[in-house]
């Protein structure tokens, strides 16, 4: 399984993160009145857009990951779940679940994603060695 590189940030910038619910609806126009809709499939991708702040060495690492490991974005890979990974587990009463040593138990979740076919990764130079990497991803069902 191809994994998001450890050398890159594991959390996206929260200010640029956006996800949509999957859309498996099929729409059909009618001669009169509103169109018709029906569920086409449960196996729909879930679109996500996000950004990561990187330094030049990390940007070079991403370039290698995208071009060589993902074969220019054609392969799926595992990325830490940007919504739930790292959150603490709680009881139904809202109290944190703790280990015997008193540390809170954290969720570890992954997404299986691919790069969007409609939007390639973008990069913006922020000055000096700093870059912002913009990604459009699709979470696989």
**pLDDT for 1-29, tens place per residue?**
999 999 999 999 999 999 887 776 777 88
Higher pLDDT, 16 or 132: 132
3-state secondary structure the chain: CCECCCCCCCCCCHHHCEECCCCCEEEECCCCCCCEEEECCCCCCEEEEEEEEEEHHHHHHHHHHHHHHCCCCCCCEEEECCCCCCCECECCCCCECECCCCCECECCCEEEEEECCCCCCEEEEEECCEEEEEEEEEECC
Question: Would you state the pLDDT for residue 24?
Answer: 67
- Structural domain boundaries in the chain: 1-8+46-83+110-141
30-84 per-position pLDDT tens digit: 888 887 777 776 678 899 999 999 999 999 999 999 999 999 999 999 999 999 9
């Amino acid at each position: 399984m191809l994994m998001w590189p450890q050398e890159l940030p594991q959390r996206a910038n929260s200010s640029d993160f956006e996800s949509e619910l999957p859309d498996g609806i099929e729409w059909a126009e009618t001669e009169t009145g509103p169109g018709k809709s029906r569920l086409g499939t449960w196996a729909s991708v879930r679109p996500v857009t996000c950004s990561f702040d990187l330094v030049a060495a990390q940007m070079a690492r991403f370039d290698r990951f995208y071009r060589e490991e993902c074969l220019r974005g054609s392969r799926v890979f595992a990325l830490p779940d940007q919504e739930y990974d790292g959150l603490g587990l709680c009881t139904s009463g809202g109290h944190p679940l703790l280990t015997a040593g008193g540390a809170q138990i954290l969720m570890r979740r992954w997404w299986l994603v691919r790069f969007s076919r409609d939007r390639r990764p973008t990069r913006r130079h922020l000055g000096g060695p700093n870059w912002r990497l913009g990604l459009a991803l699709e979470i696989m069902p």
